[in-house]
Structure 1
Amino acid sequence: MPTTEADTTVSAEAAQSIPMDVLTYHSIIDSANEIMIGFMQRIPYFVAALIVVLIFWFLSIFFKKVVHKILGNRIRHQNLVKVFQRVGGALIIFVGVMIAMVIAVPGFTPAKLIGALGIGSVAIGFAFKDIFQNLLSGILLLISEPFRIGDQIVSGEYEGTVEDIKIRATTIRTYDGRQVVIPNSDLYTSALTVNTAYKQRRLQVAVGIGYEDDIEVAKAEIIQALNKADTVSKNAEPSVIATGFGDSTIDLMVR
């Protein structure tokens, strides 16, 4: 069967398309090989960078132990020791990460990082405003020491025992066993109640008695029970005051 002009054209186009696909495939393979070779060449630098980070991490731990050993028994405000430990340890790790980045990434400099992040610009300033505010508030809280770990505090709608005071936030454990993380800026700028700030404090308990009960007899019974309790201070006598009439009880306030 004779070959037509149309068949010849189709064969020529097929012959041209095959080399293009092959060239594209080889180009992808070559690019992948170059990336793999470049990555393999950078592995020693990545390992060195990791070693640097680990070294500075251990240095930060050693720094914290040295600060605690030197200042732990000499400074009355133990929270101030924590400030030195955490801020100093964070700076050491930051320096280690910067050195590791210089080793692992060709041409990297801290100046380029600052330029890429745009630190100092208005946008970044607003973005980091809350973070810096919490950090500064955390440092001021640790230095001024309005409360300590183990104190019972009330902040807004949350009440519980302080478990940890960090640079950014404070962790408390509520009386029903929940953990609450409160930003330090809220604790520093808002009203805060420290229930355990003093060794002794007066408690108020509302008590209701029936309308048919004698108020004076009820007061005497309550005072007698409080005088027998070992946890009630003898320096300030307890008192019982009638405060109002409820729907079904006479309300007494025991102090």
Structure 2
Amino acid sequence: MDETGFLSLMMTEIETYAAGVVEAAPRIAAAVLVILLTWIIVRLVRWIVSRVTQRARMRRNLRDVLMMLSGIAIWVVGLLISSTILFPSVTPGRALTTLGLGSVAVGFAFKDVFENFLAGLLILLREPFKIGDHIWSDEAGIEGQVEDITIRDTRIRQTDGQLAVMPNAQLFQNPVVVRTDTELRRTSIICGVAYGEDVDAARDVILEAVRNVDSVRNDVRDVQVFAQAFGASSIDFEIAWWTGSRPLDIRASRDQVVAAVKRALDEAGIEIPFPYRTLTFKADSPVPLPEARNEAEAPSTA
């Protein structure tokens, strides 16, 4: 093929292509218009969802998720409509079938990602715990304060100051104890008094001492003091009271209660026993007995 024939073929192809573009111009314009309208509708719907969720006092992360999901749903519909307009051979049924098969393939490839996504969505919807709560999960091996809840993970500041990023699936599948679900939480300690002391008098002294501690909320629920068991060297009392639910509140209140009980028992002359040990030696023991030592140390009168 000479140069003239090649140029002629190229011009024919260009004219055919240009004619096809001109013929498809209305469809292209309609598809672009649909995409533009979709963008406007997405912005409007996101604004409406934001306003409604704010009035409903939903948490910020949940508002963001709802806005994102609503935007994705509208974009999927808009792109399906624009694709059927631009390519008449692509019917909505075929497009949905292709989208479904693609979603299955992506779902298998990113199983863990979608599992955490759905778990995060359910956590945000059900709100078993919120930002600022102290939680504990034995199975997940985590305890601390919730700092942030995202759609994929939850960030927890542990009691030792370290930041733990937990996948939402682990928190959703395992039991989680929310320590600060209410403002108050009960705590307890064990205190022993000597067997020779009066049990009722010791109980009254302990009860009065704990009631006078500032961090003890006996205005909500009264202090409870029960003789619990016969210990190795003492009668053991269980002292239970209500205080703030944060771990720091619990530790500070225990410190105050222990100090108050010790001070009250000392002032009342009630003994807090400690273990006694009696050592028995055989007669032929190589360790000298006290009497033997005393005889050996006694001055000679001879």
TM-score relative to the length of structure 2: 0.46
Question: What corresponds to 2:135 in structure 1?
Answer: 153
CA shift, 1:69, in A, is: 6.0
Within the alignment, does 1:190 sit opposite 2:174 as a pair? yes
Question: What corresponds to 2:190 in structure 1?
Answer: 207
Question: What corresponds to 1:177 in structure 2?
Answer: 161
Within the alignment, does 1:135 sit opposite 2:117 as a pair? yes
Q: Tell me the distance in 2 between the aligned counterparts of 1:185 and 1:208.
A: 42
Gaps of 5+ in 2: 1-42, 77-94, 241-302
Cα-to-partner distance string for 1:218-243 (whole Å, 9 max, x where unaligned):
43233223322344142321102233
Aligned in 2, Cα 1:67/1:173: closer, same or farther, shift over 3 Å? farther
Cα-to-partner distance string for 1:110-130 (whole Å, 9 max, x where unaligned):
x9xx99xx7634xx6444222
Percent identity between the two aligned chains:
36
Aligned in 2, Cα 1:243/1:75: closer, same or farther, shift over 3 Å? same
Aligned in 2, Cα 1:222/1:172: closer, same or farther, shift over 3 Å? farther
Question: What corresponds to 1:84 in structure 2?
Answer: 66
CA shift, 1:251, in A, is: 3.8
Q: 2:227 aligns with which of 236, 239, 242?
A: 242
Within the alignment, does 1:253 sit opposite 2:238 as a pair? yes
Aligned in 2, Cα 1:213/1:221: closer, same or farther, shift over 3 Å? farther
Question: What corresponds to 1:22 in structure 2?
Answer: none
**Number of equivalences:** 172
Contact 1:67 1:81 in 2 (8 A): no
Aligned in 2, Cα 1:88/1:233: closer, same or farther, shift over 3 Å? farther
Q: Tell me the distance in 1 between the aligned counterparts of 2:181 and 2:189.
A: 24
Cα-to-partner distance string for 1:20-78 (whole Å, 9 max, x where unaligned):
xxxxxxxxxxxxxxxxxxxxxxxxxxxxxxxxxxxxxxxxxx99x95796245401332
Q: Tell me the distance in 2 between the aligned counterparts of 1:68 and 1:221.
A: 60
CA shift, 1:133, in A, is: 1.1
The one-letter amino acid of 1:191's match is P
Gaps of 5+ in 1: 1-61, 96-110
